[in-house]
Structure 1
Amino acid sequence: MYVRGVNMAAGTDFSPPFALLDGGGYNNSSINKDTSRNLSPPPTRIPTASSKSLMAGLPATPSHQPGSSPPPICLIDLEFRSPFSLFLLQAMDVGIVVNKSPSDEKTDFSPVFRSGSCAEEGPKQYMEDEHVCIDDLNQHLGSTTASFSSMGAFYGVFDGHGGTDAALFVRNNILRYIVDDFQFPMCVEKAIKSAFVRADYAFADDSSLDISSGTTALTALMLGRTLIIANAGDCRAVLGRRGRAIEMSKDHKPNSTSERLRIEKLGGVIYDGYLNGQLSVSRALGDWHMKGPKGSACPLSPEPELQETNLSEEDEFLIMGCDGLWDVMSSQCAVTIVRKELMLHNDPERCSRELVREALKRNTCDNLTVIVVCFSQDPPPRIEIPQTRVRRSISLEGLNLLKGVLDENS
């Protein structure tokens, strides 16, 4: 991701901002092996008057009106869905292919989460990306919040610009803001959206940080078979479904039709593909030199777009990467590479390294951060293509054309 008009913070040293807590702290073994920083442990989630007053400052979710988009889905039961709630599972309007799992009827599938990641500075002078991998939420959160009725996991990629303060702050706090939200776990999607905005506001209030720095944010929250992707920016999440790439997020570029309309409606301008001539993304946290007062509508939005699906046996892995990967590689190419690698060694970390290596070969111009999450302990099965008896024929015109080509080369 490229940014104009913002000075880069060079050589900034960030020490771990939080200490480990016995019994309820973050387990460093469950966090990505590439980083030694630990996340801040979330406090016990008890809805209080103070927490409600804090949330009162966030943008309110409008009630559903006839003809408008449906409200976010509430996950009343994290392990099983009623027929009525299944009926409510509609694809969010994020401009990509609707990707309900073809085998949603199967309730006996239980995903097992295991992940690997790789982060490289690439050709840039500074590394501004951050990421987090948590394969077991129950173990990670411990007694600090209510236990889940099923397996859970959390992953995130944060592509910083103008320094590392925003990316590091969001990485360290976004999960805590989600699980501590008074709407969690009853209405998970509402809690995620509120957490993104709350993280943006909290970052602006921290006087020790450079609030002109910014970051995109892509998170994946998995609760049992339910996968919820939240994205603000141009990172991307792609699901590998039996060798086919299913995009689970939309790149928020200023030139995309939906984002351009939103930006211009709010008084923003797009110059040479940059929002207000400065930023190459249309959604980000931080960048408070480009935003107005808290709560006011702004062309640069911190609010994520969400997409949800129920995982099935067809879904084999998830790829999450910053734009340094997707600038030089298609979603389908990445899925093909990962599936081939998993069939060879079944190691998601080696798969992430291979994607980074391939992006560097293709001369990416940005930092590189990639996470690969597998949903099974076994490697993907070989795809058998049934043989069909097809008679192929060629027209007389085609034969004459082929003859002419052969005569020219002889």
Structure 2
Amino acid sequence: MNGGVEPQTPPDSPSMDAGVGKPPRHHLTSIRHCASSARIAAAAASSPDYGLDLGTMSLISPTDVRAGFLPVFRSGSCAETGPKSYMEDEHVCVDNLIEHLGGRAAGIPAPGAFYGVFDGHGGTDAACFVRKNLLKFIVEDMHFPTNVEKAIRGAFLKADHALADSHSLDNSSGTTALTALIFGRTLFIANAGDCRAVLGKRGRAVELSRDHKPTCKSEKIRIEKLGGTVFDGYLNGQLAVARALGDWHMKGPKGSISPLSAEPELQEIVLSEEDEFLIIGCDGLWDVMTSQCAVSIVRKELMQHNNPEKCSGELVQEALKRDSCDNLTVVVICFSSNPPPQIEIPRSRVRRSISLEGLHLLRGALDSNA
């Protein structure tokens, strides 16, 4: 189910009872790898006596990545209410940004794509508004497309302020927001909340965002510096996230600095042929599944049917089997028209044998049990 981006403000929508919301993060200084082959390599090189054979423990990746590589974007999504009584998630998938923007696409590098997941709380107003307007705010920002990071940051704050100014939307409604904007090989991840973006890199999971929970050390320090508190894992005892758009009943006057921040944390990377797909999902998925598990499931499924929509559905169904207690929204974005290749695992270079003495001991043990 692919969402569109529209410039108009959504009409009045009935607000739900205020629910518990979610958090965001700040500038990432590095990409976190769920499986560190570098650490394994270092251990093997420094400890030959342990007989570690790196060939049996790490995955072979091509070393000749073509400089002219350009990704091909295709995506699939799945959204389920789950055990909750109503759906507050929203998402958007734009595989061809140039075509989608039409006359507004002048100066934008091709190919381009835009994706987002928005996990609402306290009703659907905020998530619906942000889904419909965030891309428009990015494209219309004065810094776009010369300074994409500034444009994205400005768009998040503009959307937040628009929620405060609206008389038709519930000001107690809020939403987390995670977007992926891609120009050519350059991927920009922006996150405010506890949605997560995970890159599948030849079978290895690479987290491109940080969950903004109030209990996260850097978020807790920021919250307390601004006069907020973290009680039982909740910001000011009310919200399960440290960053979100909306929630103006908690933020105070517009323009003031609030413990609940709408500022996104940004990550920029350059894609290579090793980068096979991206998973973005709301916390209903990540509450019950590790990043590496999700990547392993998607890669296996893509090798079988090469259908990103089926992959997103498989992740949602697996999360439901694991008793996820939240709405579930997942988007899988592939960077190639082909399925992932089979990963080569070389034969072990270490011969495993048993000594004559060991053979005699084994034979004796078997005879005694006869």
Whether 2:28 is the aligned partner of 1:93: answer: yes
- When residues 149 and 93 of structure 1 are mapped into structure 2, their CA distance, relative to the original with a 3 A threshold, is closer
Whether 2:92 is the aligned partner of 1:132: answer: yes
Written as runs of structure 1 = structure 2, the 5 A alignment for 1:177-326 is: 177-326=137-286
TM-score normalised to the size of structure 1? 0.74
Shift of 1:93: 2.8
Aligned mates of 2:140, 2:242 — CA distance in 1? 27
Q: Deviations over 1:244-276 (max 9, x none)?
A: 000000000001111111111111100000000
Whether 2:333 is the aligned partner of 1:373: answer: yes
Shift of 1:296: 1.4
Match of 1:121 in 2: 81
Contact 1:254 1:273 survives alignment (8 Å): yes
Contact 2:200 2:206 survives alignment (8 Å): yes
Contact 1:346 1:379 survives alignment (8 Å): yes
Q: Pick the aligned partner of 1:160 from 115, 120, 123.
A: 120
* Equivalences, count: 326
Shift of 1:144: 2.9
Shift of 1:41: 4.0
Shift of 1:40: 1.7
State the AA in 2 paired with 1:157: V
- When residues 94 and 299 of structure 1 are mapped into structure 2, their CA distance, relative to the original with a 3 A threshold, is farther
Match of 1:40 in 2: 6
Contact 1:138 1:147 survives alignment (8 Å): no
TM-score normalised to the size of structure 2? 0.82
Match of 1:55 in 2: none
Q: CA RMSD in A?
A: 3.0
Shift of 1:107: 2.5
Contact 2:96 2:112 survives alignment (8 Å): yes
Whether 2:308 is the aligned partner of 1:348: answer: yes
Aligned mates of 1:207, 1:336 — CA distance in 2? 45
Gaps of 5+ in 2: 9-25, 35-60
- When residues 260 and 394 of structure 1 are mapped into structure 2, their CA distance, relative to the original with a 3 A threshold, is farther
Contact 1:217 1:231 survives alignment (8 Å): yes
Aligned mates of 1:102, 1:304 — CA distance in 2? 34
Contact 2:107 2:145 survives alignment (8 Å): no
Contact 1:285 1:302 survives alignment (8 Å): yes
Higher alpha-carbon deviation: 142-151 or 204-213: 142-151
- 3-state DSSP of counterpart to 1:373: strand
Contact 1:239 1:247 survives alignment (8 Å): yes
Contact 1:159 1:217 survives alignment (8 Å): yes
More helix by share: 2
Q: Deviations over 1:256-310 (max 9, x none)?
A: 1111111111111000000000000000000001102122111100000000100
Aligned mates of 1:146, 1:322 — CA distance in 2? 32
Q: Deviations over 1:217-256 (max 9, x none)?
A: 0000000000000000000000000000000000000011
State the AA in 2 paired with 1:306: L
Gaps of 5+ in 1: 1-31, 43-90
- 3-state DSSP of counterpart to 1:385: coil
Aligned mates of 1:214, 1:102 — CA distance in 2? 44
Give the % identical residues: 70
Q: Which has the higher contact order (CA 8 A, sep 6+)?
A: 2
Shift of 1:138: 0.6
Divergent runs of 4+, >6 A:
101-105
Shift of 1:391: 3.1
